[in-house]
Amino acid sequence: MQDTLERRITRARQPQHHKQTAPGGVFYTERYHDDEIPTYLSEEEQQSLANLIGKKCRQRTKDNIEFALDIPLSLWRNYGIYGRVMFENGEAHYVAGQSYPDEIRTVREYILGK
């Protein structure tokens, strides 16, 4: 049991070589098929997402974002807007529907639990 958990955590922390993933899909897969995807965002993905949603924020907010991104994905609530955040080669991108600033703020608030 412990050995399996350690292997999963080690595998989750290794860089992923997938072209694109959306957190919305990652959250669904994490909950129902957890042996197929990582349980954490990689450090590169965490930093990229923190930079994307933390622009023009105070340092305290940026610190809170970095802390929140280190939480296992299985503990995050699944919001549809997460499906608009894409990772390509470890870099986070956001595909806006209508208002980019408003939607980035919404993603940031959901990640921070507001």
pTM: 0.67
Quick one: pLDDT band at residue 9, thresholds 50, 70, 90? Answer: low
How is the chain split into domains, by residue range? 2-112
Mean predicted lDDT score pLDDT of the chain: 76
Phi/psi for 41 (5° steps) reads -75, 145
List of long-range contacts for 92-99, beta carbons under 8 Å, 24+ apart: 92/45, 92/48, 92/49, 92/51, 92/52, 93/52, 94/52
Instruction: Give 11-47 pLDDT, tens digit per residue.
Output: 555 555 444 555 555 544 444 454 555 577 888 888 9
| Per-residue confidence (pLDDT) for residue 107, from 0 to 100 | 92
From 38, 19, 18, 17, select the one nearest 27 (Cα to Cα). Answer: 38
Instruction: Give 42-58 pLDDT, tens digit per residue.
Output: 888 889 999 999 999 99
> Which residues does 101 contact at the CB level (< 8 Å), separation at least 6?
none
| Per-residue confidence (pLDDT) for residue 17, from 0 to 100 | 46
Beta-ladder partners of 92:
87
Phi/psi for 30 (5° steps) reads -60, -40
Average pLDDT rounded to a whole number, residues 78-82: 84
| Per-residue confidence (pLDDT) for residue 103, from 0 to 100 | 93
Where helices occur in 1-114 by DSSP H, the ranges are 2-13, 23-32, 43-53, 59-69, 100-112
Quick one: pLDDT band at residue 90, thresholds 50, 70, 90? Answer: confident
What does R_g of the chain's alpha carbons equal in angstroms? 14
